[in-house]
A and B are shown apart, each in its own frame.
Chain A
């Protein structure tokens, strides 16, 4: 896709060398070439109108190597991630289908993967899923038949051994899926996190996308441990980043999102961004905050890409997809949209 966003990743060759690709995934191809990968996130709509998906896909297209499509994120019902992913494929944007263990048992997961692969889906991100008590159907029964690491292992066996979870052959071969998983370097128990990421590598994950990184020193510690364990050679680690929209967002992430570490310096920078702007001029304040949010995000990307073992960034601009091309451009990852 892109030619110019590539800086070699220091010390990392996490994905099979070119020529031995496991899938037709563009993300895998980019990582196998040792290029610094860029992914983003596309949140499906809460209704059945395809237009907003197409619009968001057009914004991201050419600026990222692939884009995640969330699976009932925050346990709120939305258009299915696979269906949304198919719309993205139609727009020329490669989807990374997120799949949670909350809503499906192993039968549903495997059948959905067969269907997704049949439609040309090449990437999957395996997640536990936000608890339903936090969402819009708190009385729902959760599934958790298997956990996210077992899901990774199941998909790997489907792909590499052409076996269902029950060990039986998949007629005609299994889905060729590039397998992702998540890790939160800031959640507890901190000592277990790098090992848990290694466990995902052992289960067969090809890449990791992390929780939003604002606390670079803590992320650096986490990555040092990961590199010591050699996990960065077993899979590609993409650091999660995202632009703040306001000082309130920084506080909200810190106080209300479990497992988030947001240093207070960012609240201060966001506050300072609107100094001298009339408090009544809401539009000008919002503009100034968003500019500063993007600036912080660019700085974070530049800092993070220097950390050993980081193979790319995953930009989460929730309901603000327009920010992604600007951030990608300003970080020097890519100068224009790739054809």
Chain B
């Protein structure tokens, strides 16, 4: 899932300084699961903002809205009429949600209430960890299902750096060394031979380094009248 966390109330409030009526929009997918942008978080943030602005003597009207997915046109379409009534939209979605709203409602200011952190999973109650950086060329087949791109601070492809000790990373002792895990797992599976091969330089063109990424599936595109795709 995409993991996000709330920006500090002060920062959100500062963004809304010039507005009197805002629409706070939650999202029912990833950010609900990581307790950052679900119905409950929308309600809590709205109440906090109203209270803060009330104390400051500049009352703020905060309406609450919720969609199942902020990252798809059809899910945000029902907001179209409502959005017109507000000075600004405060999105509690991830960065994709914020931009989908901004793209659909170009006449309205759309602001982010969250910081989008990473793609990962909850490893235990209250803890989320990164697992994927969407590099666009998965190497997990070669590394025993442990990703050196997202989990090694130096994105090494040929083994651990000299700072790996007792299974932890030199950058942060609370973080396991990805290459230590890769080695241990390969050892347990009797597959260390595969780690002796030199992995050549990665082609980062499929990662963010190649500019905006786009995936096209012709088999899924809607045919146009002239027989081409839309």
Indicate which residue in A144, A184, A211 contacts B156 across the interface (CB closer than 8 Å). A144
Assess whether A147 is in contact with B157, with CB atoms less than 8 Å apart: yes
Assess whether B184 is in contact with A189, with CB atoms less than 8 Å apart: yes
**Is B201 interfacial (CB 8 A cutoff)?**
yes
CB-based nearest B residue for A131:
B171
**Is B154 interfacial (CB 8 A cutoff)?**
yes
Q: How many of chain B's residues have a CB under 8 angstroms from any CB in A? A: 32
Assess whether A258 is in contact with B156, with CB atoms less than 8 Å apart: no
CB-based nearest B residue for A195:
B196
**Is A187 interfacial (CB 8 A cutoff)?**
yes
On chain A, the residues within 8 Å of B160 by CB distance are: 187-189, 192, 196
Assess whether A150 is in contact with B158, with CB atoms less than 8 Å apart: yes
- The residues in A between 150 and 200 inclusive whose CB is less than 8 angstroms from any CB of B are 150, 153-154, 165, 182-184, 186-189, 191-192, 195-196, 198-199
Indicate which residue in A106, A187, A199 contacts B162 across the interface (CB closer than 8 Å). A187
On chain B, the residues within 8 Å of A191 by CB distance are: 183, 187
Assess whether A131 is in contact with B153, with CB atoms less than 8 Å apart: yes
Contact with B along A38-59 (1 / 0, CB 8 A): 0000000000000000000000
Indicate which residue in A101, A165, A196, A258 contacts B170 across the interface (CB closer than 8 Å). A258
Assess whether B167 is in contact with A146, with CB atoms less than 8 Å apart: no
CB-based nearest B residue for A202:
B198
- The residues in A between 269 and 311 inclusive whose CB is less than 8 angstroms from any CB of B are none
Chain B interface secondary structure, helix, strand, loop or mixed?
A: loop
Contact with A along B112-148 (1 / 0, CB 8 A): 0000000000000000000000000000000000000
**Is A122 interfacial (CB 8 A cutoff)?**
no
Assess whether B170 is in contact with A131, with CB atoms less than 8 Å apart: yes
Q: How many of chain A's residues have a CB under 8 angstroms from any CB in B? A: 38
**Is B166 interfacial (CB 8 A cutoff)?**
yes
- What's the nearest-Cβ distance from chain A to residue B156, in Å? 4
**Is B229 interfacial (CB 8 A cutoff)?**
no
Assess whether B187 is in contact with A187, with CB atoms less than 8 Å apart: no
**Is A149 interfacial (CB 8 A cutoff)?**
yes
Assess whether B163 is in contact with A259, with CB atoms less than 8 Å apart: yes
Assess whether A259 is in contact with B164, with CB atoms less than 8 Å apart: yes
In the assembly, what is the distance between CA of A182 and CA of B163, in Å?
A: 12
CB-based nearest A residue for B166:
A188
CB-based nearest B residue for A196:
B159
**Is A128 interfacial (CB 8 A cutoff)?**
yes
- What's the nearest-Cβ distance from chain A to residue B150, in Å? 12
**Is B161 interfacial (CB 8 A cutoff)?**
yes
CB-based nearest B residue for A185:
B162
Indicate which residue in A142, A145, A186, A196 contacts B201 across the interface (CB closer than 8 Å). A145
On chain B, the residues within 8 Å of A148 by CB distance are: 156, 158, 161
On chain A, the residues within 8 Å of B153 by CB distance are: 131, 133, 142
**Is B180 interfacial (CB 8 A cutoff)?**
yes
**Is B75 interfacial (CB 8 A cutoff)?**
no
Assess whether B162 is in contact with A183, with CB atoms less than 8 Å apart: yes
In the assembly, what is the distance between CA of A198 and CA of B159, in Å?
A: 12
Assess whether A203 is in contact with B198, with CB atoms less than 8 Å apart: yes
**Is A312 interfacial (CB 8 A cutoff)?**
no
In the assembly, what is the distance between CA of A197 and CA of B226, in Å?
A: 61
Assess whether A199 is in contact with B164, with CB atoms less than 8 Å apart: no
Indicate which residue in B162, B167, B198, B200 contacts A184 across the interface (CB closer than 8 Å). B162
Q: Name the 4 nearest CB pairs between A and B, nearest first.
A: A184-B162, A258-B170, A149-B158, A258-B163
* Selected A-B contacts with CB under 8 Å, 26 pairs: A102-B154, A128-B154, A128-B162, A131-B170, A133-B153, A147-B154, A148-B161, A149-B157, A150-B157, A150-B201, A183-B162, A186-B165, A187-B161, A188-B164, A188-B166, A188-B167, A192-B159, A192-B160, A195-B192, A195-B195, A196-B160, A199-B158, A199-B198, A211-B162, A259-B162, A259-B165
